Amino acid sequence: MEVKRHFSWRSLVTIAALCLFHVTAGETTLGQTPQMGWNSWNTFKAIINESVIHETARLFGTLGLQKAGYNYVVIDDGWANHSRTADGYLQANVTGFPSGIKALADKVHAQGLKLGIYSDSGILTCDFKPGSWGYEERDAQTFASWGVDYLKYDNCGGFEGMTEASQVRFGTMKNALELSGRKIFYSVCEWGFQFPWRWGGGIGHSYRISGDITASFTNETGCACKTAYCLNTGYAGCSVLTIINKMREISQYGVQGHWLDMDMLEIGVANMTLYQQQTHFTFWSALKSPLIIGADLSRLSNESLAILTNKNIIALNQDSLGKPVSYVETLSEDGLWQVWAGNIESGYVVLLLNEKSYPQTISLQLSNLGLGTPRKIVELWSEKTLKTNAFNGTLQPYQTLVFKIDTA
Ligand code: GAL
């Protein structure tokens, strides 16, 4: 009898411990909010080296980016040697990364940051370095053994690799990462080719929905696919505005833990006005896209830095509900201004974008969206409180106002 009671007590402790473990494990699940960090591609392309990564990691601290929530430092294409080792392992190119990736990861970790790396689901990367197709488990183990925390996995390097469906190629790496024994954030980069919003949620913590962003707010160099279901014939050159517009069709597919990736930020890279930069950051945040800075941090202007570290807008991106805003067609004027809205933890948020290159005066009733009864309305960029439930005012070219509407 005594033994039995003792056993029951131990069982209770075990169950409690398991519950605790479950909560703890839940807390550390990757991707519960969109990832925030920096990636080398938009500025450095494939000419990247370890000094840039060291300097970037240092600047995360001194510029206040780390404090603002940015924690992944991601090396894009160009880090690897042209060939694998004789026994088939990926290796860093010694010119750019003489100390190797493990040593780099150790340094980045010592600063409380995380290291990301890049590979490809084909035979070659876009920069003609070895891809991971057919080597998924081996490469995932290599990344884990180096202490890598994040993998951006690309879609170039065809040949036999491309005879397999995207789901298979990207899914194989997902499984390999899970087997690697290390928690590695999985950023799927499939350019929206095979409509990953239909399947990417089961595979990546985030997945790209468009061709490569170009360093421009409106001008495009070759964005072949401006809508969600067009057939792609090219992958690069999409402007900030085109990517925003594409999200009108697919924002509803973004769910917590599997974010729609609108591509790396061009703030501090492109020559954009203050309002264009604010709009870029607002939409990436409100649509719960990853916030991955693409600029050279050593040359970032104070204006761009202030936008990238804006607490209100980052809070919108990292909101615990994790719900992207949706396009509100009935309140928008096609081609002139756009209204987007969606729930956040404290109520809801409404975005008003002047899509034109000239100022526009716009009136908007903020309370008839069926998202709750307003208690307080604050415009997040100016931090001004609205006195009524309606907005009536002038927006500058490409400006976006962000109304946070508390209902509780
Ligand atoms: C593209 C990708 C870019 C960048 C580049 C590297 O496919 O979309 O973000 O990673 O490859 O070659």
Query: In the 8-state DSSP scheme, what is residue 333?
Result: B
Residues in the chain: 408
Q: How far apart are CA 89 and CA 83, in angstroms?
A: 9
Answer yes or no: is the C-beta of 189 below 6 A from any ligand 1 atom.
yes
Q: What is the per-residue pLDDT for 37?
A: 99
Q: How many CA atoms, within 13 angstroms, populate the side-chain half-sphere of residue 56? A: 29
Answer yes or no: is the C-beta of 348 below 6 A from any ligand 1 atom.
no
The CATH fold assigned to 36-318 is TIM Barrel (3.20.20)
Q: What is the per-residue pLDDT for 200?
A: 78
Distance of CA 106 to the CA centre of its chain: 24
Give the residue among 175, 343, 169 at the shortest CA–CA distance from 256.
343
DSSP β-ladder status, 400-406 and 376-379: antiparallel
Q: What is the per-residue pLDDT for 23?
A: 36
Question: What ligand 1 atom has the least distance to the C-alpha of 118?
Answer: 10
Q: How far apart are CA 378 and CA 348, in angstroms?
A: 11
What are the start and end residues of each CATH 2.60.40.1180 domain in the chain?
326-406
Distance of CA 55 to the CA centre of its chain: 22
CA distance to 5, 168, 301, 350, 395, per residue, from 347 (Å):
49, 39, 33, 10, 24
Q: What are phi and psi of 14, to 5 degrees?
A: -65, -45
Query: In the 8-state DSSP scheme, what is residue 210?
Result: S
Answer yes or no: is the C-beta of 76 below 6 A from any ligand 1 atom.
yes
3-state secondary structure of 154: strand
Q: Compute, in angstroms, the gap from residue 179 CA to the centroid of ligand 1.
A: 25
Residues 6+ apart with CB under 8 A from 185: 30, 31, 35, 72, 116, 149, 150, 151, 205
What are the start and end residues of each CATH 3.20.20.70 domain in the chain?
36-318
Q: What is the pLDDT of residues 266-306, one digit of tens each?
A: 999 999 999 999 999 999 999 999 999 999 999 999 999 99
Amino acid at 146: W
Answer yes or no: is the C-beta of 156 below 6 A from any ligand 1 atom.
yes
Q: How far apart are CA 75 and CA 376, in angstroms?
A: 42
Q: How far apart are CA 299 and CA 69, in angstroms?
A: 20
3-state secondary structure of 214: coil
As given in the structure block, the two tokens for residue 191 are 């350019």
Answer yes or no: is the C-beta of 266 below 6 A from any ligand 1 atom.
no
Which of 212, 261, 263, 296 is flagged as catalytic? 212
Distance of CA 264 to the CA centre of its chain: 7
Q: What is the per-residue pLDDT for 56?
A: 98
Catalytic residue flag (residue 127):
no
Residues of the chain with pLDDT under 50: 1-27
DSSP β-ladder status, 376-379 and 384-385: antiparallel
Q: Compute, in angstroms, the gap from residue 181 CA to the centroid of ligand 1.
A: 27
As given in the structure block, the two tokens for residue 204 are 């990546």
The CATH number of the structural domain formed by 326-406 is 2.60.40.1180
Q: What is the per-residue pLDDT for 193?
A: 86
